[in-house]
Amino acid sequence: MKLLRHTPYIVLAVLVFCTIDGRAGTGFSVQFPPPNSYIENEHLSIILEPGNRGVDQIRIVSGKKAPLNIPVRSGSTKVCFGVSLDKGMNTIQITGLKQGKIVAQTDRTVFFRSDLFPRFRVPPAEFKRYYFHFINNEKSCASCHDMEPTLSSLRPESPKQSPCYTCHSTKSSDAFTHNPAAQWTCFACHEVLRGERKYTSPKPDQKVCYPCHNYEVRDWKKKKLMHGPTAVGHCTLCHNPHGSKWPALLRMQTTDLCVNCHEDKASGAHVIAGFYGKGHPVRGVKDPFNPKREFTCAGCHNPHAGDSQSLLNHDNSNMTTYCTLCHKM
Q: What is the pLDDT of residues 192-206, one digit of tens each?
A: 776 678 888 999 999
Range of the domain at 190: 148-201
178 with 210, same domain: the answer is no
Q: Are residues 96 and 180 in the same domain?
A: no
Residues 295 and 263 reside in one and the same domain: yes
Distance between CA atoms of residues 234 and 204, nearest Å: 6
Other Cβ atoms closer than 10 A to 317: 9
Whether 195 and 294 map to the same domain: the answer is no
Q: Give burial (CB, 10 Å; 0-12/13-18/19+) of 131.
A: middle
142 located within any domain: no
Question: Among 198, 114, 98, which residue's Cα sits nearest to residue 148?
Answer: 198
Euclidean distance between CA atoms 50 and 72, whole angstroms: 8
The per-residue pLDDT for 27 is: 66
In angstroms, the CA 324 to CA 138 distance is 61
At 174, which amino acid appears? D
Is the dihedral angle over the CA atoms 248, 251, 256, 261 positive or is it negative? negative
Q: How many domains does one find in the chain? A: 3
129 plus 18 within the same structural domain:
yes
pLDDT at 14: 29
Residue at which a domain ends, from 134, 163, 180 = 134
Please name the residue ranges forming H helices in 120-213.
135-138, 151-154, 165-168, 179-183, 206-209
- Which percentage of the chain shows pLDDT scores above 90? 44
> 131: which residues sit within 8 A by CB, 6+ positions away?
15, 17, 197
Structural domain includes residue 245: yes
Could you tell me if 268 and 283 lie in one domain?
Answer: yes
Whether 103 and 65 map to the same domain: the answer is: yes
| Pairwise CA distance, residues 20 & 30, whole Å | 6
Distances (CA, A) of 91 to 34, 112, 270: 13, 11, 40
- pLDDT surpassing 90 at residue 269: no
Specify whether the CB–CB gap between 91 and 105 falls below 8 A. Answer: no
**In terms of domains, do 129 and 154 share one?**
no
Q: Write out pLDDT tens, residues 69-125.
A: 999 988 888 888 888 999 999 999 999 999 999 999 999 999 999 998 889 999 999
Vertex 248 angle, CA 247 and 250, to 5° = 85
- In this structure, the answer to whether residues 307 and 244 fall within a common structural domain is yes
Does a structural domain hold residue 118? Answer: yes
Same domain, 83 and 58: yes
Question: Do 61 and 46 contact (CB within 8 A), yes or no?
Answer: no
Residues 13 and 129 in one domain: yes
Residue 141 counted as domain residue: no
- Using CA atoms, how far residue 118 sits from 159, 235, 239, 251, in Å, is 36, 18, 17, 15
Domain boundary among 84, 108, 134: 134
The pLDDT tens digits of the residues spanning 125-176 come to 999 998 888 888 888 888 888 888 887 888 898 888 888 888 888 888 899 9
Claim to verify: residue 92 and residue 210 sit in the same structural domain: no
pLDDT, the chain, mean: 84
To the question of pTM greater than 0.95 for the whole model, the response is: no
What gap in Å lies between CA 20 and CA 88, rounded to an integer? 24
Question: C-alpha distances in angstroms, 8 versus 51, 54, 155?
Answer: 21, 20, 25
Is residue 143 a part of any domain in this protein?
no
Amino acid at site 129: R
CATH of residue 18's domain is 2.60.40.10
Q: What is the pLDDT of residue 209?
A: 96
Indicate the SS3 state at residue 282: coil
Helix (H) or strand (E) holding 259: helix 254-259
Residue 277 covered by a domain: yes
Q: Is residue 33 part of a domain?
A: yes
Residue after which a domain boundary falls, among 134, 157, 183: 134
Question: In 3-state terms, what secondary structure has residue 59?
Answer: strand
The reply to whether 190 falls in a domain is: yes
